[in-house]
Structure 1
């Protein structure tokens, strides 16, 4: 049994590594169906992990997952209710999105049971994701040197024309900024343990890690990521480290007055496409779709085809990477699964019995960030927050 559990750990590490590669792990991509190595590895991890714990008769569920299971049932029903209206490729694409959600939910369940059975510690989990964040940050620094302007990429690929912004392996500064912010939270959690234990050997590496991650987040020039980071600092500052608030204010004012692009970015004049305005349009479009389909939504995830039917997507924009989502995760859930789906999801996401700050910070910061991008369902971020909410519901985060 030891061999099986060791293999399970290896599979988990491979999942995190492939998730860190992100777009570089693509196996097949089309406008409607994308297959990545990390999706396949997570499927293997889930199947093997479920078998291991079922055979041992040790499979248990975190309390918060009850509501996510209810959400999954509602999402499945919403999709099934639209089967007769979907063509072959549309049903396949929407079905694969649902399967991905189920697999990622189960991956969090497997990790929860690994922690519960002491096969991996929460501190080791934090370390793995910190290493992932550092890898992505370093890859982002390289990207800024080799590919600072995404306008040089073929427009057929569907990427936004980001210029001089850290996008790393994600090819998107907003999502990579959100992921790195969560990795920074893990650094702070480990630092709190190290400081209490007076562990000088690990203090310096963690301090350097925080500097690297903060620098990378800053270089994304993503307003949503900066806001998410501000929420993290605010919560830690209020509940734990008042000095952190002072340091953050000094850094913010210094960046604002000494880095001109920060001023223009915050005022919204840097982006020629005026992304803030397009975000308002996305919110309005999503609300219109949700308003017309209040109970079960348009189907999980039939959103791309619903947008096309409403005339919000043209032939040129139908296959864009953002076509299947909305610039607000909560509006996206409402539009695709209705009020019942949104209610069960929000209860599962926000209701957590842990007294630790980690789930609170994860939930609040992600909820804020997810009002500007669909971060709650972005694979790398989805994998991470499902694990956090699972392990924090019943077990000490200090171990």
Structure 2
């Protein structure tokens, strides 16, 4: 019964990823949002907790202990900050924290389930369908709806002539494409008669990654290639990447600001974002303002007149960098614990280091590591480094 419930949970969850961030659900007439994939991931996680109980934590104490310590400290930081904010602001902050903890549990239980059972064999068809539909919908968006500026009133940035698919944000989009490519790559040699389809999927994903025009994504890929080149001493790959970067820079850059790889407006906005982060955090450098009171703090610095009782921006409760978010909300201590947990995970689970490196590098410039969509797909991608026997 539970096994069947878990399988259904995976099916619903994977299908919900297709709609991405298109179906944003607004709750309580406040700055509280959720998405279909979050509801599906919650149901899946509940079924996995029922099935596995505390086994993931008991069997992998060394791996989970740094993250447990990090979340305990975030809870302490949030508790200390409660007395500086209103009840409504504390409720919203508590919801942010609860969601963050949930995704920590989701990653642990999904990764444990996929690595200790033959679950991948049961979800291979629905996973292949999900990947295919994500690729198809992304090309449809780029071909038929290249200008998403008319949804700016919903808080999304007005990107033009960039592949964003159903995810609406280039850094998130390129990260999800990388996670998907990681899945396809690890099944490529085991794909049998579907090996050709895997090759086509990898080519299409490479094209879509390029058309996101995400400089952070390009840099993250470059760092991975650099590390692999030094590990294998195959420096011809590094030279090839440098040449490809030059070609991409020449062919893709144009006068349109959205797709100009030499654009400076986004750099200026990030510097302004980091300055605001410092202003908010300067009085609480060690313990932080609590995860996540950023939205409440930002309202003190708003100068634009709004006609709604909340900021509809998808980034109103965050900063551009995931590391800045952790530093502001958890202070220097929280950031040290976060970085320590990341490094220990990469060292203890060396097969997933490309995922950690890619997401960490791009998260210097954009909030990727803490994004629910990325955290949702991350454990599935990580599982394929161990269980690549499933054929797509």
Q: Distance in 1 between matches of 2:341 and 2:122?
A: 25
How does 1:151-190 map onto structure 2 within 5 Å? 151-153=149-151, 155-190=152-187
Q: What per-residue deviation string (whole Å, max 9, x for no partner) do you get for residues 110-158 of structure 1?
A: 213313432324x9889976764543332121112332212233x4311
Q: What per-residue deviation string (whole Å, max 9, x for no partner) do you get for residues 331-384 of structure 1?
A: 110100112221222111111376775422112221110011111111111223
1:75 paired residue number: 74
Deviation at 1:51, TM superposition (A): 1.2
Deviation at 1:12, TM superposition (A): 2.2
TM-score, normalised via structure 2 length: 0.85
2:360 paired residue number: 367
1:95 paired residue number: 94
Q: Distance in 2 between matches of 1:60 and 1:127?
A: 30
Checking the alignment, whether the CA contact within 8 Å between 2:174 and 2:209 is kept in structure 1 is yes
Q: CA RMSD in A?
A: 3.2
- The alignment status of 1:336 with 2:334, answered yes or no, reads no
How does 1:128-143 map onto structure 2 within 5 Å? 132-143=130-141
2:11 paired residue number: 13
Q: What per-residue deviation string (whole Å, max 9, x for no partner) do you get for residues 63-97 of structure 1?
A: 33211111111112222222233334322221111
1:228 paired residue number: 220
Q: Distance in 2 between matches of 1:110 and 1:305?
A: 32
Checking the alignment, whether the CA contact within 8 Å between 1:159 and 1:321 is kept in structure 2 is yes
Q: Distance in 1 between matches of 2:255 and 2:225?
A: 19
Q: In structure 1, the residue corresponding to 2:31 is in which secondary structure?
A: coil
Label 1:347 to 1:375 Cα distance change in 2 as closer, same or farther (>3 A): same
Q: Distance in 2 between matches of 1:347 and 1:12?
A: 31
2:277 paired residue number: 286
Deviation at 1:167, TM superposition (A): 1.3
How does 1:192-231 map onto structure 2 within 5 Å? 194=189, 201-231=193-223
- The alignment status of 1:39 with 2:31, answered yes or no, reads no
- Between 332-341 and 123-132, the greater mean CA deviation after superposition: 123-132
> Which one of the candidate residues 134, 145, 148 is aligned to 1:147?
145
Checking the alignment, whether the CA contact within 8 Å between 1:50 and 1:59 is kept in structure 2 is no
Q: In structure 1, the residue corresponding to 2:25 is in which secondary structure?
A: strand
Q: In structure 2, the residue corresponding to 1:324 is in which secondary structure?
A: coil
Deviation at 1:7, TM superposition (A): 2.1
Deviation at 1:208, TM superposition (A): 0.8
Q: In structure 1, the residue corresponding to 2:320 is in which secondary structure?
A: coil
1:239 paired residue number: 231
TM-score, normalised via structure 1 length: 0.84
Deviation at 1:262, TM superposition (A): 9.4
Structure 1, unmatched stretches of 5+, are none
Q: What per-residue deviation string (whole Å, max 9, x for no partner) do you get for residues 38-73 of structure 1?
A: 222222222221111229999644633211111111
Structure 2, unmatched stretches of 5+, are none
Q: Distance in 2 between matches of 1:243 and 1:125?
A: 38
Q: How many residues align?
A: 382
Checking the alignment, whether the CA contact within 8 Å between 1:126 and 1:190 is kept in structure 2 is no
Q: Distance in 2 between matches of 1:230 and 1:335?
A: 28
How does 1:317-328 map onto structure 2 within 5 Å? 318-328=311-321
Label 1:235 to 1:315 Cα distance change in 2 as closer, same or farther (>3 A): farther
Q: What per-residue deviation string (whole Å, max 9, x for no partner) do you get for residues 160-194 of structure 1?
A: 11111111111111211122122223333333xx1
